[in-house]
Each structure stands twice: as C-alpha cells, then as structure tokens.
Amino acid sequence: MAARVLVVEDDEATRGALRALLDDAGYVCDGVEDGEQAVAAMRGARFDLVLLDLGLPGISGAEVHRRLRRDPRTRFLPIVFLTAHADREAKLAELAAGAEDFITKPYDADELLARVGAAVRRSSGLRNVNPLSGLPGNPTITEELESRLARGEHFALLYVDIDRFKEFNDHYGFTRGDRVITLLAEIVIDSAGADQRFVGHIGGDDFVVLARADEAEAIAKEITSRFDASICALYDPEDRARGWIEAHDRRGRQRRTPFATVSIGIVNIPPGRFAGATAASRAAAEVKAVAKRRPGSAWVIDRRQS
C-alpha cells in the first residue's frame, strides 16, 4: 500500500508542486495551507509522514510539531521540515523534539524524494503500529517501558481489556467488533490526554497506558465511565431493550451474555521495583485478572510492595 503524506505549506504554488512531485513518485498525497488545518487533518485521517513548513502563518510549524508529539496517535509519526532559513538553533531544537529531517528551500526534487522515502522506510521498520487504532504496538510498548525503568522514573502501568468482547464479536461479526475496539482506543487516548503519558495497543482489545502514579486511578475512572456510557449504542435495539445478547453456544444451548464492560489492572512502578518490562507487564496482567472477577466495569490497583 502506498504511503500517505500530508504536505503543510502556506504557499499555494509550492504546495501544488510538492503534491505533484510526491503523487508522481507513488505517494498518496494531501495538502493543507496552515497549522490549524494540519492538526485537524491528522485527527480525521492517518498519515505515514508529514512534510511540514516551519514558517507557517498563525500556528507555526514548530507548534504543529509539538501538538502532534503530544497526541498518542501521532507521537511517533515521522515529520520532515521544510524551511527557507538554515537556522542552526531552530533546526537543532526541532530535531531534539523528534523531527525526522530538515529540507532547505529551494529544494532539489531528487533529494527531497530520497529524504522522504528514507524517513518512511525508517518509520516502517522501527514502528509497530496497530492498523486499527494507529497506536504503537508491542515492540514500542516494550521499548517505552524499558526506557522508563532504566531512567528510574516513578510511574503507573494501566492494562485495559474489554470483558465479553469475544461474545460480542461472535454475535455481531468482526466489522462491528472492530468498532468496539476503535471506540475503546479513542476513549483511552482521550482519557490519557497528552504530556508524559503513553498509550499503546497490545493487540485485539488490550491497551496499555503509562502515566504518573498519582493520576492513574482518575484515568481508569474516566475510561470505565465513558466506555459504559458509549457501548450500548453498538448493540441492536432489541438487545439494548433486553440488556443482554441472546445466542446459542456450540452445544446449541441458549445463553444470555451481558453487555461488554472494561477491566483495568493498575500497577504502581517506583524505581527498582521491576527488573524489566516483562515482569511489570506480568504484574499488570495479574491485577487485570482480579478486576475481571468484579461485576461491571472495574479497576484494581496492585497493593503489593514487591
């Protein structure tokens, strides 16, 4: 599948030339003229790279970069800057903030295509992004956990899982099942917010949030309450009226399955508690299993000291 590129450039002629160049090279290319439109476009679609003019009117390219890095959905998205000024300090600042590359105007077409292609290939090789949620997958989750453990940070790990998702998926089909997963992804992203919080998609209906220990319970409360308020809309009217799904199991017996809920295991991770990401993840899975035994959507905090 062709990589999708968003060109953010206020000059119409330059934007048109860049889009034509990238289209001819086989990319799927969209274009916007300012930072506000760029941020809005990223909320409505998924891109593989952003070609971003540093000197935009209104919201600057640097501010667009900061906003994209704060959003879990675009935190690892490769951003290549276009700039008319080779300001060394500005370039170093954006590279330190996570920019992939810089291209100086006037640009050489072959060089631009080479740099864009290299950035897309590096991103594809380094990132494991879940195609349904757009969130980083297991390799990036493990890398983030190991990095925080190595720095001796004090943080919390939230393991989020949907209860009775299989029954929902079997009853309504995988297309509507994907809608449930997408719903939870959006809720987790919005509830976790930005700043130093990390959101990852383990796979299926399992998600991870890394946040400050003192805000973990508030995040869990928001996730569960918002999921409970939203999930009913994905059931058929007759099932909503009953409050459960009626279906036959493999033996032909009729079963009633209550609505899907969310279980969250929360593990507090002070410096030195866990030797690695595997041990921390295992502890979170154990606590999540305890939450699953409680009625309705629930979260459980690990009170163990070691």
Which of 80-94, 101-115, 202-216 shows the lowest mean pLDDT across its residues? 80-94
Confidence check: pLDDT of 22 > 90 = yes
Domain boundaries, the chain: 4-126, 138-301
- Please, which pLDDT band fits residue 125 given cuts at 50, 70 and 90? low
φ, ψ dihedrals at 48, nearest 5°: -100, -15
Q: Write the CA distances from 158 to 6, 211, 220, 225, 227, integer angstroms.
A: 33, 8, 8, 16, 16
pTM for the model: 0.68
Of 113, 222, 123, 230, the closest CA to residue 183 belongs to 230
Most confident of 78-87, 92-101, 124-133, 174-183: 174-183
C-beta separation of 210 from 159 below 8 A? no
Q: What is the pLDDT of residues 224-270, one digit of tens each?
A: 999 999 999 999 999 999 999 987 666 777 889 999 999 999 999 99
User: How is 206-275 classified by DSSP, letter by letter?
Assistant: EEEEEE-GGGHHHHHHHHHHHHHHHHGGGS-HHHHHHTEEEEE-TTS-EEEEEPPEEEEEEEEE-TTS-S
Please state the length of the chain: 306
Could you identify the residue written with the tokens 């593990």? 267
Q: Which CATH class is domain 138-301?
A: alpha beta
Helices (H), ranges, 100-215: 109-126, 138-150, 165-172, 174-192
The fold of the 4-126 domain, in CATH, is Rossmann fold (3.40.50)
Q: What is the pLDDT of residues 190-215, one digit of tens each?
A: 998 866 789 999 999 999 999 999 99
Report the distance separating Cα 196 and Cα 198, nearest Å: 7
Residue bearing the bigger pLDDT, 230 or 76: 230
Residue bearing the bigger pLDDT, 250 or 122: 122
Mention every residue, 6+ apart, whose C-beta is less than 8 A from residue 70: 194, 195
Report the distance separating Cα 159 and Cα 213, nearest Å: 14
Confidence check: pLDDT of 8 > 70 = yes
pLDDT of residue 306: 59
Q: What is the pLDDT of residues 36-57, one digit of tens each?
A: 999 999 888 889 899 999 889 8
What does the mean pLDDT of the chain come to? 89
Confidence check: pLDDT of 123 > 90 = no
pLDDT of residue 86: 61
pLDDT of residue 285: 95
Residue bearing the bigger pLDDT, 158 or 83: 158
Residue bearing the bigger pLDDT, 91 or 132: 132
φ, ψ dihedrals at 45, nearest 5°: -150, 165
C-beta separation of 112 from 5 below 8 A? no
pLDDT of residue 263: 98
φ, ψ dihedrals at 204, nearest 5°: 55, -125
Report the distance separating Cα 303 and Cα 27, nearest Å: 51
